[in-house]
Structure 1
Amino acid sequence: MEQGNDMKSPSQCRQRTISLQSPMGKIQVSGCENGVHTIQILMDVPPAERSDDASLSCVVTASNGQEEMGPELQHCVEWLLAYFNEPWTVGRLPLPVFHHPTLHGDAFTSRVLQTLVRNVKVGETVSYKRLAEMAGNPRAVRAVGGAMRRNPVPLLIPCHRVISSSGQSGMYMGGKGNHLKQWLLTHEKVKEED
Structure 2
Amino acid sequence: MASRLVPKVNSEQREPPCKEKHVVLLSPVGKLEISGCEAGLHEIKLPKMIALPSGNAESSAACEVCEGAEEMTEPLKQCSAWLHAYFCEPARTTSLPVPAFHHPLLRQDSFTGQVLWTLLRDVKFGEAVSYKQLADLAGNSRAARAVGGAMRSNPIPIIIPCHRVIRSSGQSGNYGGGNLMKEWLLSHERLQKEKLAY
Normalising by structure 1, we get a TM-score of 0.87
Contact 1:34 1:97 in 2 (8 A): yes
CA distance in 1, matches of 2:186, 2:158: 11
Q: Distance in 1 between matches of 2:66 and 2:54?
A: 22
Q: Which residue is 2:87 aligned to?
A: 84
Kindly provide the amino acid, as one letter, of the partner of residue 155 in structure 1: I
| Distance of 1:14 and 1:137 partners within structure 2 | 36
Please name the residue that 1:184 is paired with.
185
- Percent identical pairs in the alignment equals 50
Q: CA deviation at 1:76?
A: 0.4
8 Å contact from structure 1 (residues 20, 28) kept in 2 = yes
Q: Is the 8 A contact 1:31 1:37 kept in 2?
A: yes
Q: Distance in 2 between matches of 1:133 and 1:8?
A: 35
In structure 1, the partner of 2:4 is: none
With over 3 angstroms needed to count, the CA separation of the structure-2 counterparts of 1:83 and 1:7, relative to structure 1, is: farther
1:148 and 1:8, CA in 2 relative to 1: closer, same or farther beyond 3 A?
A: farther
The answer to whether the Cα contact below 8 Å between 2:57 and 2:188 also exists between their aligned partners in 1 is no
Q: Give the conservation status (yes or no) of the 8 Å contact 1:88–1:188.
A: no
In structure 2, C-alpha distance between the alignment counterparts of 1:30 and 1:89, rounded to whole Å: 23
1:97 CA displacement: 0.4
Q: How many residues matched? A: 184
Cα distance in 2 for residues equivalent to 1:144 and 1:92 = 28
In 2, Cα distance between the equivalents of 1:82 and 1:143? Answer: 31
**Would the aligned equivalents of 2:131 and 2:166 in 1 still touch at CA under 8 Å?**
yes
Q: Distance in 2 between matches of 1:52 and 1:104?
A: 35
Distance in 1 of aligned mates of 2:58 and 2:67: 29
- Render the CA deviation track for 1:56-87: whole Å, top value 9, x for unaligned: 11221234xx2441111011000000001022
TM-score by length of 2: 0.85
Q: 1:50 to 1:131 in 2, by over 3 A?
A: farther
Given that 2:40 and 2:100 are in contact with CA atoms closer than 8 Å, whether structure 1 keeps it comes out as: yes
**Structure 1 gaps, min length 5:** 1-5
Q: Distance in 1 between matches of 2:104 and 2:57?
A: 39
Relative to 1, partners in 2 of residues 1:41 and 1:128: Cα closer, same or farther, differing over 3 Å?
same
Task: Give the C-alpha shift of residue 95 in structure 1.
Answer: 0.7
Query: Which residue number corresponds to residue 102 of structure 1?
Result: 105
- Whether 1:29 and 2:34 are equivalent positions in the alignment is yes
Which residue does the alignment assign to 1:119? 122
Residue number in structure 2 paired with 1:69: 72
Corresponding position of 1:3: none
Tell me if 1:140 matches 2:140: no
Describe the shift of the 1:95–1:47 C-alpha distance in structure 2 as closer, same or farther (beyond 3 A).
Answer: farther
Counterpart check, 1:57 vs 2:62: yes
Q: 1:158 aligned to 143, 146, 161, which one?
A: 161
> How far is the alpha carbon of 1:37 from its aligned partner?
0.1
| Larger mean Cα displacement after TM superposition, 96-105 or 36-45 | 36-45
Quick check: 45-54 or 147-156, which moved more?
Answer: 45-54
**Secondary structure of 1:38's match?**
strand
Contact 1:23 1:48 in 2 (8 A): yes
